[in-house]
């Protein structure tokens, strides 16, 4: 009724091994991976992010200022309408 766990297998499958501490190595077997030289790239990223996001934020500021003014006028007209 109860068959053995390795029935039909001709060999034992070894259990996965872990290094001391229970973590696997970070390189996952990539020994000959070349490092990419990223010197100066972060400076360029900061400059591009500032050059793109600063004008975008300024545009949103002025659009938001106008939108808030229009929203105030709409709310004001809804509140004062019964008294006209």
Domain locations in the chain as residue ranges: 41-83
What dihedral do alpha carbons 59, 64, 67, 69 form, nearest 10°? -110
Residue 19 CB partners (closer than 8 Å, separation 6+): 25
Confidence of residue 78 (pLDDT cuts 50, 70, 90): very high
Q: What is the pLDDT of residues 18-56, one digit of tens each?
A: 666 555 555 555 566 677 776 777 888 888 889 999 999
Residue 69: strand, helix, or coil:
helix
Name the percent of the chain lying above pLDDT 90.
Answer: 35
Q: Which two structure tokens, joined as six digits, stand for 34?
A: 């070349």
pTM above 0.85, yes or no: no
Q: What is the pLDDT of residue 15?
A: 67
Taking a C-beta distance cutoff of 8 angstroms, is the pair 25, 19 a contact? yes
């Amino acid at each position: 009724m109860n068959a053995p766990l390795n029935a039909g297998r001709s060999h034992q499958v070894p259990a996965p091994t872990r290094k001391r501490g229970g973590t696997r190595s970070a390189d996952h077997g990539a020994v000959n991976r070349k490092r990419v030289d990223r010197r100066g790239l972060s400076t360029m990223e900061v400059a591009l992010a500032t050059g793109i996001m600063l004008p975008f934020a300024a545009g949103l500021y002025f659009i938001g200022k106008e939108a808030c003014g229009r929203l105030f006028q709409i709310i004001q007209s809804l509140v004062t309408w019964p008294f006209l």
